[in-house]
Amino acid sequence: MTDIDNTEKEFSDALAMCRRVFVAKLGDYGPSWRIMRPEAITDQLFIKAKRIRTLQIKGTSAVGEGILPEFVAIVNYGIIGVIQLRRGFSDHKDMSAAEAVELYDSVAAEAKALMVRKNTDYDEAWRGMRVLSYVDLILTKIERTKEIEDHEGLTKVSEGIDANYFDMVNYAVFGIIKLTDADAGRDEA
């Protein structure tokens, strides 16, 4: 199996982990996130990425939860963000759990297809990166997204909000892969 083939499998496994959490939370709350405006989703992504960075810097967690669940949350909120951009927000839950999962799967498949295209061009460069770099890149993408949101979604030369959400999802998946790899250094968790 080539590195790129291995990456596709690892990526699919990480997305499956995120999907399980998404489905479980749908069982608890339904698609309550439908009321969130994209700016609120961006802020939620900020909270999750900022917490990872804080845990990396401090090395301890006051609430006993680690970095991995936060990367899972970034994947899930990033996918929700793309859904919300496409569907618009609602004042109430306006879709079934089954429809939410179908939309989730569609956006996750797009994220994976994007990763495959970029990974081919970048030749597995993500493997040589540190987990802390994924977090810093996600935080950078969040800042860019906030700027674009402040400009009402208009850009002159840059990609839009959806492209930034997809990049956040993919960097978070790379973080999940690194953290769940049995050979990965434990000091990055």
pLDDT per residue over 102-128, tens digit each? 999 999 999 999 999 999 999 999 999
pLDDT higher than threshold 70 for residue 66: yes
Q: Given pLDDT bands bounded at 50, 70 and 90, which one contains residue 1?
A: low
pLDDT per residue over 16-33, tens digit each? 999 999 999 999 999 999
Burial class (CB in 10 A: 0-12, 13-18, 19+), 110: middle
CB-based contact 34:93 (threshold 8 Å): yes
CB-based contact 173:75 (threshold 8 Å): yes
pTM: 0.92
Distance CA 78, CA 97 (A): 18
Distance CA 119, CA 12 (A): 14
